[in-house]
Amino acid sequence: MEKVVREEVTDDAFAVADVGSIIRQHKQWVDNLPMVEPFYAVKCNPDPVILQTMVRMGTGFDCASKGEIDAVLALGVDPSRIIYANPCKAASQIRYAGQVGVRMMTFDNADELHKVKRYHPNPQMVLRIITDDSKSVCKFGVKFGAHLENTLNLLQVAKDIGVDIIGVSFHVGSGCMDAASFADAIYRARRVFNEGIQLGFNMRLLDIGGGFPGADAGHGINFHQIVAQLRPAIEEHFPASSGVRIISEPGRYYVSAAYTLAVTVHARRVVRPAADPINGAPESFMYYVNEGLYSAFNCVYYDHYDPKLQVLLKDGVFLHGRQDVMDKAAQFPCSVWGPTCDSMDVITKNGKLPELNVGDWLYVDAMGAYTVAAASTFNGFSRCQIIWTNTEAESLLV
């Protein structure tokens, strides 16, 4: 990163991504949740390097479309390592899943069962149930998940039309602020498991979804707090003796901390207070950078992310990690804007930074999840370059 900004190799935004961070996250998962198989959520970040790393680590894959299935199968992954975790699929994509051998699929309504019956020769269906996601930033229950009062009816429909049900899935929502939500969801899943068993289904799969944080933001819950709730709940309701296979769909957990995004200040405006400033109000600044809401910072709008902009290079001095220097620098009110012509393209309206000049650089940590995956080329601006590194170069996984 220092080499790029010091030598003025480019003034385009770029991200440095670390395979080693992903490897360490996987080790932490295996150490703390050995009974849960991770199926990486491809939608979070489908970069080929990430997918290849997941293949080497032996994870499964949570896919939500034909395109994601294709990307995973192209790496030689067996279809049995894929769950098509989209409860509402187009008929053509159900047919395609059947053609390539992807059998595990989620559903939450009767129409989906009838579609699957018609277009897939041998599906293994997983009933997605609604959970209490009231304490999550992104609530998925408004769109997906069968209510508990309707699950028995759906299972009966599957029984009547001859569609195999193998288990239950749920998602507590992204940005979950209460680890107890996971334990409550496990309890709900057990109830639906029992309904399926009563109808004669061989209920053998539990999918506990995603919602696992990927970087410690200093607020909310962390991975270990979730583990402390999950493990006792799993041991009580789905012990190893039950023979139930337990999987999960982590995305953000694996890749959020792996990316650091660097942007350059290519323009600025000085906003001076009125001629007679009230209480001596200080001047403020409007900074224009080369990445915005139409690119990697789409997470501000779609993922409710509040990026912490930090100074990378100022007046030729490399300041990454130099919080001691930044703490002594005078801070000024500022807003930071993306490069497009849209006035909605604002990264932060009420920030505070040292006074910056054109050519200075900023950086943001934890930019690997739901960022570059949804970036566009609106206004003709290109997506940022990804520079890969590996801080676990000696790992056998590489």
Q: Where in the chain is the domain with CATH 3.20.20.10?
A: 46-250
**pLDDT for res 188:** 96
Neighbours of 216 (CB within 10 A): 12
Residue 5 pLDDT more than 90?
no
**pLDDT for res 144:** 82
**pLDDT for res 3:** 74
Q: Where in the chain is the domain with CATH 2.40.37.10?
A: 1-15+257-389
Place of tokens 């409710």: 304
What residues form DSSP beta bridges with 41? Answer: 62
Average model confidence (pLDDT) across the chain: 92
Burial class (CB in 10 A: 0-12, 13-18, 19+), 330: exposed
What tens digit of pLDDT does each residue of 271-298 get?
877 655 555 556 899 999 999 999 999 9
Residue 4 pLDDT more than 70?
yes
**pLDDT for res 247:** 99
Neighbours of 374 (CB within 10 A): 16
Mark whether 341 is an active-site residue. yes
Q: Which two tokens stand for residue 139?
A: 């609530």
Burial class (CB in 10 A: 0-12, 13-18, 19+), 245: middle
* CATH 3.40.50.2000 is the classification of domain 46-250: no
User: Beta strands 136-138 and 174-176: pairing type?
Assistant: antiparallel
Give Cβ neighbours of residue 147 (< 8 Å, ≥ 6 apart): 129, 130
Catalytic residue among 88, 334, 341, 384: 341
Q: Is this structure's pTM higher than 0.75?
A: yes
User: Superfamily for 1-15+257-389?
Assistant: Lyase, Ornithine Decarboxylase; Chain A, domain 1 (2.40.37.10)
What tens digit of pLDDT does each residue of 251-271 get?
999 999 999 999 999 999 998
